[in-house]
Amino acid sequence: MATPSPRWPSTISKSKSPRPILTSTHPACEKNLQQWRASPAIDYCNYLNQQSTLIQNKMSQSQARARPPAPVYAQPANWVDRLADNIMEPMAKGFGLGVRLLGPFFCIALYLLVGLHVYAYFNVILFVLRKRLGTIFGMTWVGIGLAILYNLCFNHFLAMLIKPGGPSDLKRVEQVRKELKKREARKSITQEVEGDDGQVRYVEDDRFEGISADVKRLLKYRNKTIAQLEQSWHKKCADCNYIKPIRTHHCSVCNKCVFIMDHHCPWVNNCLGLENHRYFLLFIFYLMLGSLYMLTTIVAIWNHHAYKQNASLMSFLCILDAALFVVMVGFNGWNWYLAMTGFSTIEFFGHATNRGGDGTRYAYNFGSVQDNLYKTFGTKSFFAIFSPSMRNLPFNGIEWSYQSRDMGFNEKGQKTVAQAARSSRQSEEVNEDIEERLDQSTEEIEMSEISTTVKNRHDTSLDFLQDEIEI
Ligand SMILES: [Zn+2]
Ligand SMILES: [Zn+2]
């Protein structure tokens, strides 16, 4: 006879005990219950229950972590930021295509104007200069003119050709840079130096000699790669969806991100950023000198019949150069001021409201003019800055991201008010600690001086007593 199937009692305990207590008076049920109590299935059920509770707890914790309270930054979005986001950016996108198409025409127009100046100089002016200035002074003046022309074309050409540098470009050339650095390191080890005793020694060449501590602190990160940064840097460009380190801006004309972007210049048909900004600065500098040079040369021959024979060309060039010179003085003043203070045009307006240094924003620039120019030109010599050169720059563009993060700033280079206060408190504590140690050591010195005095007096009195006894 088959045993009656047991009815599950409705009183299964929901207590935390791993094994529920079940009771029954029916003998068959009691037997089944004993089997059930002994079966591993009940343990497994309890285990599953525990796991699901754990998983639920973890999920609610991670959800709470994923939605942190919005941090309160010391500088909320100001009107300049809002203007840039809402009006300037859409406008820039619209103009992007136009500027890209017009760029080549602007460059051709520029070289046509340079060509017109060269034509006027060698066909009209040179003939008068030889008569008026004599051979030696005339040749010197022509030499100055040619030097300006060479520097103007050299810098314009390189500003056009050299890429401004951005995260995607850096990733592509990283391997080449590594090879170059290895070669440089090998070269630096084998530098030969002849000592006073006439013996040749091999010493390491310190290429960064004379560089300030500020620059050295940042140079520490120059061996880092964009692939390493990608592992910890989460900010991405909304337009090109590529990693966006600090001091990087998206150019809507080139449609890519650029390190330390200044602006997109149609006159060089290129973006101006970390790698080619120096060529642009020198181009506008020599353009200013060139327009002044041509203006003075044309004005100097205004009463000569050669000027009167070519009056329309000479007048056109005279007016053009006068206007260009006035514009270039202002333009040079503004751009060189930015280069000396270490900001790009975009960064200057972005940081304009907070340069008091209250610790809530990461300082992009160095403290001195020489260091800021070193960042742009890669040299500390003023003569070398104005000479035509294709030297490598000390920075690759991602050092600022590493440094700002190590200093506790977020990916926008900001700190919350509380964080800034905490870090300033920490630095105060360090200062207090140093002062305390100074006080302690001063006290120790004073105490040792007092004890020495007491000991001397004691010795003197002992000597005195000894003398007394002897007497
Ligand atoms: Zn971008
Ligand atoms: Zn651009």
Task: Give pLDDT tens digits for 163-176.
Answer: 998 888 888 887 77
Q: Residue 167: nearest ligand to its CA?
A: 1
Per-residue pLDDT, averaged over 278-298, amounts to: 96
**What is the whole-number distance in angstroms between the Cα of residue 90 and the centre of ligand 1?**
15
Confidence of residue 13 (pLDDT cuts 50, 70, 90): very low
**What is the whole-number distance in angstroms between the Cα of residue 163 and the centre of ligand 2?**
10
Question: pLDDT tens-digit profile of 52-97?
Answer: 788 878 777 766 665 544 444 445 556 766 776 677 666 766 777 7
Q: Residue 100: nearest ligand to its CA?
A: 2
pTM as predicted: 0.67
> Which of 101-115, 222-236, 368-382, 415-429 shows the lowest mean pLDDT across its residues?
415-429
**pLDDT score of 346:** 87
How many other CB atoms sit within 10 Å of the CB of residue 240? 17
Q: Which residue has the higher pLDDT, 31 or 257?
A: 257
Q: Which residue has the higher pLDDT, 324 or 240?
A: 324
Q: Which residue has the higher pLDDT, 50 or 425?
A: 50
Per-residue pLDDT, averaged over 280-306, amounts to: 93
**What is the whole-number distance in angstroms between the Cα of residue 249 and the centre of ligand 1?**
7
Per-residue pLDDT, averaged over 285-295, amounts to: 96
Residue 412: C-alpha distances to residues 53, 65, 351 (Å): 39, 21, 12
Confidence of residue 227 (pLDDT cuts 50, 70, 90): confident
Per-residue pLDDT, averaged over 119-133, amounts to: 89
**What is the whole-number distance in angstroms between the Cα of residue 112 and the centre of ligand 1?**
34
**What is the whole-number distance in angstroms between the Cα of residue 115 and the centre of ligand 2?**
27
Per-residue pLDDT, averaged over 311-339, amounts to: 95
**What is the whole-number distance in angstroms between the Cα of residue 253 and the centre of ligand 2?**
5
Confidence of residue 408 (pLDDT cuts 50, 70, 90): confident
Q: Residue 271: nearest ligand to its CA?
A: 2
Taking Cα atoms as reference points, which of 363, 360, 348, 355 lies closest to residue 403? 363
Per-residue pLDDT, averaged over 286-291, amounts to: 97
Per-residue pLDDT, averaged over 238-256, amounts to: 90
Question: pLDDT tens-digit profile of 177-211?
Answer: 777 766 765 555 455 556 667 666 655 545 566 77
The 3-state DSSP composition of the chain as helix, strand, coil percent (nearest 5) reads 65, 5, 30
**What is the whole-number distance in angstroms between the Cα of residue 157 and the centre of ligand 2?**
16
Do residues 154 and 388 make contact, with C-beta atoms less than 8 angstroms apart? yes
**What is the whole-number distance in angstroms between the Cα of residue 391 and the centre of ligand 2?**
23
**What is the whole-number distance in angstroms between the Cα of residue 109 and the centre of ligand 1?**
30
User: Could you give the dihedral angle defined by the CA atoms of residues 106, 107, 111 and 116, in that order, rounded to the nearest 10 degrees?
Assistant: 0
**What is the whole-number distance in angstroms between the Cα of residue 343 and the centre of ligand 1?**
20
pLDDT above 70 for 261: yes
> Which of 133-142, 196-205, 266-275 shows the lowest mean pLDDT across its residues?
196-205
Taking Cα atoms as reference points, which of 245, 322, 222, 328 lies closest to residue 282? 328
pLDDT above 60 for 7: no
Q: Residue 243: nearest ligand to its CA?
A: 1
Per-residue pLDDT, averaged over 114-127, amounts to: 92
**pLDDT score of 327:** 97
**What is the whole-number distance in angstroms between the Cα of residue 108 and the centre of ligand 2?**
18
User: Within 301-416, where are the H helices?
Assistant: 305-309, 311-341, 345-350, 369-377, 382-385, 399-406
**What is the whole-number distance in angstroms between the Cα of residue 447 and the centre of ligand 1?**
66
**pLDDT score of 272:** 94
Average pLDDT, the chain: 78
**What is the whole-number distance in angstroms between the Cα of residue 244 and the centre of ligand 1?**
7
Q: Residue 249: nearest ligand to its CA?
A: 1
Taking Cα atoms as reference points, which of 326, 285, 289 lies closest to residue 117? 289
Q: Residue 240: nearest ligand to its CA?
A: 1
**pLDDT score of 121:** 94
**What is the whole-number distance in angstroms between the Cα of residue 444 and the centre of ligand 1?**
61
**What is the whole-number distance in angstroms between the Cα of residue 174 and the centre of ligand 2?**
22
